[in-house]
Each structure stands twice: as C-alpha cells, then as structure tokens.
Amino acid sequence: MRRLRKTKIIATLGPASSDPDSIEALHLAGADVFRLNFSHGDHKDHEERVAAIRKLEGDVGRPIGILADLQGPKIRIGTFKNGSTMLTNGAKFRLDLDETPGDEKRVSLPHPAVLESLDEGSILLLDDGKLKLMVVNVGKDFVDCEVAVGGKISDRKGVNIPNALVRMSPLTDKDRRDLDFALSLGVDWVALSFVQRPEDIAEVKKIVAGRAAVMAKIEKPAAVEALEGIIDLSDAIMVARGDLGVEMPIQEVPSIQKRIITQAREAGKPVVVATQMLESMIASPVPTRAEVTDVANAIYDGTDAVMLSAESAAGEFPLEAVTMMSDIAEVTERDPLYRSVIDAKHGHLEATTADAISAAASQVAHTIGAAAIVTYTTSGSTALRAARERGETSVLVLTPSLKTARMLALVWGLHCVHTSDAENFADMVNKACRKSFAEGFTRPGDRVVIMAGVPFGTPGSTNILRIAWVGEQ
C-alpha cells in the first residue's frame, strides 16, 4: 500500500478508535503511526491496541509504527473547602505544602520540588493559563503570591510555570511503570513530556537502552532555550503546541514552531507537529479553513509528520479527520510552490561519506529522472539521511530489521519494506529492482538509484551509489 504523499500522519487511539475495525479503517485512510496516550486508559487498554495494530500489520503486509506518549509530571493544586473559590486581582494568595483544604487566601501545592524552584518574580499560570500569580515572597515550604489575573479556581487545577527551571525529573513513578510496560509491548517510539534539559533525554535513553527511539516533546520555555542540546540527544522532536501555548505568549508559538522544524531538519532528526491541528473535527465532520491552513503550513515547512490527538481518540469523526489530513498533505505536496519552499530550506551536509552519498543520490536521481531511490539500511541511519534531503524522488527503504522499518514509518518520504539483506553486489541490484517494481515505484525500463554499504549488513557503512535499469519482472 503506497501513500500518495510524503508527510506522515500520526493518529492517537482512544475510546472512539480502539477496536480492530476502527484501527484498520484509520490505517487505510492514512494513519502511518498510532499514538498510545498514557495520560488516559490503563495498561490493558494499551495492550489490546498494540495487539490489534500488530495483527493489522501482518494482514496488510506494511510496517506500522507505535508511539507511546508518557504523561509526564502533572503539577496541580490541592482542594478547596467548598470545591472552588474566587481570586481577585491584586489579592495575596499563598501556595504551601499543607494539604488542608484551601480558601481564598491559600491552597496546597503538593510538589516540594516545584516550591523549591520558585523565586521572587516567578510566574504561575493556573487552569490552562486562565489565572496568573506572581511570586512576591519565598519561604521554606511556601510561596506568597499576588494575583495578577484573577477568576474562579477549583479543585486540582493544573499549574504551569513558564519562567522557572523546575528541579524535578520529567519521569514520574507512573511514567516509569508506563515506560517499562510500553517497552515490554515492543513500541517503536517513546515520547517524553515536559522536557526541560538535554539531561532529561539522557535519563530516559539510559532506561530505554535502545529498545525504542526517544522523542522529545517541546512544550516548555526551558526546552526552547536548550533546543540545540535536546535535538542532539533525541531521536526525534515533537512541537507540542498545547502547553507551549500556555507557558509562552501564544502569538510566539508559530515562530517557535518554525524554528523547531528548521533546527530538527538541519540536524537530520524527524520532527512532528501536534495539538489542535483539526480540533473542530472533534465535533464536526469538516475542519475550519484556518485549521486546514495550519496543517498545510506545517507541511510547507517540511515537517516529517502531523498528529491528530482528540480528533481521532475521542472525537465523533476520527475517520474523517485522518482522511482530511491525508487529503491536505497530498494537495499541498502537489503545489509547485511546495517544492521550491522545501528546496530553499535544505540543511548543511556533514563531512561524511554517508552524507555525501545521500546528497549525490538525490541529485543523480533528479538529473536522470530516476523512478525511485532504493536504500538498504539496518539501523535506519542511511534512510534518515535520504529523508533529510527532502528530494522529489520517492525513497524505497529495504531493511532486514522489522524494528527499524516500524521506526522509520514516522519519517518523511520513506516507504519501508521488511526484507532480507543483500547477499552480494548482484543480489543488491536485483533485489532493488524487484522490490521497487513489486511496490509500484517502477516499471520495466525505469532507472533506480541504489544506496548501500559494503560490507553488507554493517550499520552506518553507506559507501555505494549505483544506477540500475529495471527489467521485465
């Protein structure tokens, strides 16, 4: 099953889309990767979803990626005597560790590490930014605040802290249990929420130990400031615009999104744009014009994938949402302006043989009008370099590793096939021609450009570029 677009689609599974028939319909409509949101559902729910995806994968004969999205630390206030209270502008309000129900003067913030991270002048945003507090005094186990923007506040509302580096791990005890379980299920990607520093990624990668690829969700100002280091350590990046739009001025989110995409592409790391992309389709069979433009703009910027959250997980029209996103991508990529924009944002090559071969393959394929670039890969590094080129020629990835094929399902422009590795040079050429024909990329008489490494099966050894004719199959 060959997609008519190069941008990939991630669909979140949930109550509206978890039975095997729904998962199959979403995949056929365009979902390349399925997201398991560990903020919702229990382990049994996720296990059943993984089983359905893997069965579907066998039925359709295509590798399907699975992304486990960890919840991360949820900072919340405690409870109030009457369930809620009103905070007025200019009033004093204390946050402390006392779990006694609060009132209009104080409430519990049962996170010692958070209180220790606050200084005079720190800002706290409550209930998705509806209320704003400014710290005016810091005590041993409390902070006194002034209400900058008041309103009604009720039990256990969330707290965002935009201008402070919170000295706590992004992995909670729940996350550690969820991570162990997700890895036992064989997920392909793990997304880490509320990343603040490169060290957060290092902590997770040490636990994952190569069993899955790690994606950093950029949703805090501290992560934006440390973006280069986070990209270096991550396997992929997600522009998580929900909390990012709460913790930073919302009008800055578009430029930050473009910056993240640009830096990720420059580094050759896959990048995903997420949150509220087709939000209105939770309750409507058609999106707004602004949402369609939002999705298209991310595609013009060269994002590897766009993601549906509640639209496919809990909405009334999950199938329509995936279909619409796929249609937007196809139409956008057919626009002549798309190719000129993508080419204008080409990243700098590293001084390596593999990068040189990848760049040459794209140029040669364009010059001779090749029907496809065929790349052999074991670890995925060669395929990632091919995708980084954002070339106009289709890329067929042949890999002996099903794990690698599933991981690469998220990456721009890659059509992955799980197959045995080439035995020798002649087998490399013959298999490339056979598979490109079987997958619908070529016809007899077409030419293909082949990238591979000798000795075969050695990760990171890309050192061959070959042009071959496709004969009668």
Whole-angstrom distance, CA of residue 334 vs CA of residue 279? 25
Rounded to the nearest integer, the mean pLDDT of the chain is 94
Residues 6+ apart with CB under 8 A from 293: none
Residue 132's SS3 state is strand
The domain ranges of the chain are: 8-72+171-334, 84-160, 353-469
- % of the chain residues with pLDDT over 90: 87
Task: Considering the candidates 6, 8, 35, 205, report the single residue annotated as catalytic.
Answer: 35
- pLDDT bucket at 347, cuts 50 / 70 / 90: low
Q: Which CATH architecture describes the domain 353-469?
A: 3-Layer(aba) Sandwich (3.40)
Task: Considering the candidates 3, 76, 92, 176, report the single residue annotated as catalytic.
Answer: 76
Q: Tens digits of per-residue pLDDT, 119-158? A: 999 999 999 899 999 999 999 999 999 999 999 999 999 9
Taking phi over 0 as left and psi of -120 to 50 as alpha, with beta for the rest, 350 belongs to beta
The arithmetic mean of pLDDT across residues 239-262, rounded, is 94
Active site residue 76: yes
- pLDDT bucket at 253, cuts 50 / 70 / 90: very high
Indicate whether 461 pLDDT > 80: no
The arithmetic mean of pLDDT across residues 225-232, rounded, is 97
Residue 374 has a pLDDT of 97
Q: Tens digits of per-residue pLDDT, 18-45? A: 999 999 999 999 999 999 999 999 999 9
Residues 6+ apart with CB under 8 A from 233: 198, 201, 202, 205, 216
Q: Which CATH superfamily is domain 84-160 in?
A: PK beta-barrel domain-like (2.40.33.10)
Kindly write down the DSSP assignment for every residue of 29-51, as one continuous string: HT--EEEEETTSS-HHHHHHHHH
Residue 165 has a pLDDT of 87
Q: Count of alpha carbons within 13 Å of 88, Cβ hemisphere only?
A: 3
The arithmetic mean of pLDDT across residues 252-270, rounded, is 96
The arithmetic mean of pLDDT across residues 175-203, rounded, is 97
Active site residue 390: no
Active site residue 55: no
Residues 6+ apart with CB under 8 A from 420: 400
Residues 6+ apart with CB under 8 A from 391: 362, 365, 366, 373, 413
* CATH code reported for the domain at 8-72+171-334: 3.20.20.60
Residue that is written with structure tokens 């990668």 in the block: 205
Residue 463 has a pLDDT of 86
Task: Considering the candidates 106, 157, 217, 269, report the single residue annotated as catalytic.
Answer: 217
- % of the chain residues with pLDDT over 70: 99
Residue ranges with strand state E in 29-150 = 33-37, 65-69, 84-87, 92-96, 106-108, 123-126, 131-138, 142-149
Residue 106 has a pLDDT of 97
Q: Which two tokens stand for residue 367?
A: 């010059």
Residue 13's SS3 state is strand
Indicate whether 422 pLDDT > 90: no
Active site residue 35: yes
Q: In the chain, what are the helix, strand and coil shares in percent, each to the nearest 5?
A: 40, 25, 35
Task: Considering the candidates 275, 332, 382, 393, report the single residue annotated as catalytic.
Answer: 275
Residue 447: what are its φ and ψ, rounded to 5°?
Answer: -110, 150
Indicate whether 457 pLDDT > 80: no
